[in-house]
Amino acid sequence: MIIEKLKSTEAPPMELLLSADPSRELVEKYLASGECFIAKRQDEIIAVYILLSIKSTVTEIMNIAVAKKEQGKGIGKELIKHAIEYARKQGYAAIEVGTGNSSLGQLALYQKCGFRINGIEYDFFTRNYEEEIIENGIICRDMIRLERKLT
């Protein structure tokens, strides 16, 4: 598997991005100002993530998605490690990520990768998404914010 920055001539893998964030409007917004990285295996895009600088010292993973057939193989963890190393090399002091209160697997993964919960944006998903999101039998309402220091 190779992880590389999406070339400006390449179309972003929208289907994959929308599997992690169902709002095309939000995805297109952060895709336009962020950096998109893709993971490929034999020329097939199997995963993606987007980094967005939110302050001069902080970057955020805005979207991270692994193709369904590739899930459970440690690819998400590899993407996060890549994002951390890339952010560190770019001179950022911290990297952040936000995920839904119902995203139990993602919450565990981020914490295993050294992220710590640093806030909650109450009602983020009910305010920003028309359709109700349910994961693991839980209504997704709040954005759990996590951060990892890089220095």
pLDDT confidence bin for 120, thresholds 50/70/90: very high
Residue 83: CB atoms within 10 A of its CB come to 24
Q: Is the pLDDT of residue 44 over 90?
A: yes
Q: Quote the pLDDT of residue 54.
A: 94
Where would I find the beta strands (DSSP E) of 10-142? 35-41, 44-55, 58-66, 94-100, 116-121, 134-135, 138-139
Segments making up each domain of the chain, as ranges = 2-149
Cβ(77)–Cβ(109) below 8 Å = yes
Q: Tens of pLDDT along 51-81?
A: 999 999 999 999 999 999 999 999 999 999 9
Q: Quote the pLDDT of residue 114.
A: 96
- Can you tell me the distance from the alpha carbon of 64 to that of 92, in angstroms, rounded to the nearest whole number? 19
Q: Quote the pLDDT of residue 141.
A: 96
Q: Is the pLDDT of residue 131 over 90?
A: no
Q: What is the pTM of this model?
A: 0.91
Q: Tens of pLDDT along 20-41?
A: 988 899 999 999 999 999 999 9
pLDDT confidence bin for 130, thresholds 50/70/90: confident
Task: Specify the CATH superfamily of domain 2-149.
Answer: Gcn5-related N-acetyltransferase (GNAT) (3.40.630.30)
Here the tokens at position 51 are 């980094």
More confidently predicted of 43 and 110: 110
